[in-house]
Structure formats: structure tokens, C-alpha cells
Amino acid sequence: MSMTTITNGKEGSRMTNDRQMKTMDNLNKIVASIYDQLNEGDIPSMAIPLRSKKNIEFDTRHNVWKYGDMKTNRNCKTVKGATMMLRTLHMVDFIDQMIKTEKSSTLREMYYVSETWGELAKFGSQDESNILAEDLEIVSSLMREDFKLRPEEDGARVIGDITVTAVNRKGVKQTLNCRDDVPDTGYGIPFNVEKDKVAIRPGTAKFIVAVETGGMFDRLVENGFDEKYNALLVHLKGQPARSTRRFIKRLNEELKLPVTVFTDGDPWSFRIFASIAYGAIKTAHISDYLATPTSQFIGITASDILNYKLPTDKLSEQDIAALKSELTDPRFKDQFWVSEIEAMLGMKKKAEQQALAKYGLDFVTDQYLPEKLTEMGIL
């Protein structure tokens, strides 16, 4: 592969976006550093923050996960190191071509594209390509969305009275209201929701309810919860995608909409809330972009299971281990969480948010959510 750097050639003449220019510049620096080391007769190396639990720090000032100061030095002294460096150059070249031609790729497609890089450079697994994409994010101080890399899954849905303006695939700006123009399906959040791609204007929505499951999201929509209470409903689709978390953060910061998170009552759902509020270990290098520390939890708790006498399932051994782990997780250090987690461990029971249907299909929208939102001072 030729040691080419990213340029503003004929193919890239349409690229005037500041973030694209920053992406090109930062990736150029990575390639230039490797080239300079080779030119000086040195063994190329690249310093990357150590991506392990011992290098994860919880920033109490901003309430997000971040990488610490420990670094690992990737170099070409070993076959494995040289292979990763070669793949890095191939990936930068691939990103360069996508930016120039205004194309994008899924992470899965990039994995298969590597088949053309030769036996030494091609990825052995999807995990290898994903990790390298994350490495590039870290060393370039950018996000994979800037690299035109997108996840395989489609985006989450949003229903409520806000207006978005986005550029379609033909480069034409389109404006729609997330309730009136897409009343049934909602607005599908794209993989890149930065300001240059998606503009947001306020409507009557006063707060956000981020909902874990599709069934409960549809229940709130069918019952007209968004209209009755001026709510903006966001379907998380389980563990939320990065674009969903970023979109929620933008809504909170730019429109000043309080964020509430409505999930099942189990350890994995608690972690969904934590990823929205404080960030996740896997994406600690971009927590400032994704986390919304003021988020509040309105999902099912151990107290709800008792107070509402909800139908339950027995905790599995994995559930119990996860709950015990959360007791040492700084994201759950608040006394509310400690009490609820200990209570769940004591009863050895968990419950789904749709268990509220025990009291009828309107109970969640007429009583459960209004009561909790009132207690929080949102309604």
C-alpha cells in the first residue's frame, strides 16, 4: 500500500465541512508520524491509552468514565505489532477514500473490505476491526462517525414535539416534526447526529422519557403519553447505540430538556441507565460527548416490585453476580442505588417494565409514570 496522506484533491473538492477537515488533518498526523519514524530509520510506534479496567477512572467532577494516564506502546518490534500498524495505515487509507467520495461504511463492511489488504493485513475477526477503529478514535481525538463508519443496526426512534432538520442522501436538507410528520413510526435517529448533520429546534416537549423496550415505547405512544404530558419519547432498543446517547445529550444541553430513563428492573437495565447518565467503560474516551449526568432513573426498582406487587422472575446466577459488581461500581454509589440493589439481592427477584400491565394497559401512563415524574418535580 502506498504511504499516501489525505489531501483535498478533485474528488474531495465538495468537502467544506469543518469536522471533515479536522478529521483529514488529524489522520494525516498519524500517517505522517509513522512515515517520519521510518524515514529516520526508527521502528514505528504509537502510544495508546491502556484500555483495561485498571486504567479507567470515574471523573467525579463531571460524573463520567474516562481513561487514566496509563499508556501502552504499540510498535513494530513484533509481528503482531507490525501487523496492527499495517492495518492502521490501511484503515486510514480506507477512511480517506470514504471522506473524499462522500461514502460511508458499516463496521461489518470494513471487516470484509480488509480481505483486499492481503493475508498479512486482513482482520481475523470483527472484534479486531472494531478495536482498531476505537484506537483511531482515541489517538485522533475524533469519533468513528467522523470516519464515516457506522454500526450495523438501525437507529432508535423518537416521538414528540421537536423539529429536526437533516441532510438526506442526496444532500438536500429536510425538516420534519418528530410527532406530526412521523406520527406512527417516529423519527429514526441516524448514525451521525452532530450539529452539522442534524439541527434541532424546540417544540412543546418539556422532558425526555428514554424507554428500554419496544413494547413499552409503543404502549406510551398508543396511549398518547407524549401529547398529554408534552413528553419526548426515545426508544433505546435495549443498550442504547452511541448515536442515541449523543442525541439525548444534545437534547438535554441544547433544548434544556430533563432526561428520565425508564427500564426493566434488573442489573442489566440499571447499566443501561448508567451508560446514559455516566458513560460506559468501552467508550470512556468519548464520555464527554455521550454521557448526560443529570439523567434520572424512573425504571422498575426493588421497591416497585414490593409496593406494586409486580409479577417477577427469579434472579439468575449471572444477575446476582452483576448486582454485586454494581455495589462496587462508582456509578451506583448513591444511597438510592445501594438500597435498591441490596433489596433486589435480598428478594432474589427481578421484574420487567411491562409487568405494570397487571393493573391494565393504561396504568403505566395514567398512574405509574405521572406519580414518579411528579415526585421528581418534572410534572
Mean pLDDT computed over 197-214? 95
Per-residue pLDDT, averaged over 243-272, amounts to 97
112 is annotated as an active-site residue: yes
The answer on pLDDT for 15 being more than 60 is no
Q: How confident is the model at residue 106 (pLDDT cuts 50, 70, 90)?
A: confident
List 67, 111, 112, 289, catalytic entry? 112
Region 335-351: mean pLDDT is 96
Q: 155 falls in which pLDDT band (50, 70, 90)? A: low
DSSP label at 354? Answer: G
The β-bridge partners of 63 are none
Backbone angles phi, psi at 48, to 5 degrees: -130, 135
Question: Which residue has 452539522 as its cell numbers?
Answer: 196
CATH number among 3.10.150.10, 3.40.1360.10, 3.90.550.10, 3.40.50.1820, domain 204-375: 3.40.1360.10
Is-same-fold flag (18-150; 204-375)?
A: no
Tell me the sheet residues that pair with 107. none
* 377 exposure class (CB count in 10 Å sphere: 0-12, 13-18, 19+): exposed
Question: What's the CA gap between 245 and 273, in Å, rounded?
Answer: 11
CATH number of the structural domain 18-150:
1.10.10.10
Domain boundaries, the chain: 18-150, 204-375
Backbone angles phi, psi at 105, to 5 degrees: -140, 145
The pLDDT of residue 28? 87
Residue-wise DSSP of 26-86: HHHHHHHHHHHHHHTTPPPEEEEE--SGGGEEEETTTTEEEE-S-EEEEESSSHHHHHHHH
Within 10 angstroms of residue 301's Cβ, the number of other Cβ atoms is: 20
Compute CA distances 107 → 110, 278, 318, 368, whole Å: 5, 25, 29, 40
pLDDT score, position 4 = 39
What is the chain's alpha carbon radius of gyration, rounded to the nearest angstrom?
Answer: 23
Amino acid at 221: V
What pLDDT, in 10s, does the model give residues 272-306?
999 999 988 778 888 888 999 999 999 999 999 99
Predicted confidence (pLDDT) at residue 1 exceeds the cutoff of 80: no
> Which residues, other chains included, contact 232 with Cβ-Cβ below 8 Å and sequence gap of 6+?
158, 159, 160, 161, 162, 178, 205, 207, 208, 209, 226, 251, 257
Burial class (CB in 10 A: 0-12, 13-18, 19+), 178: buried
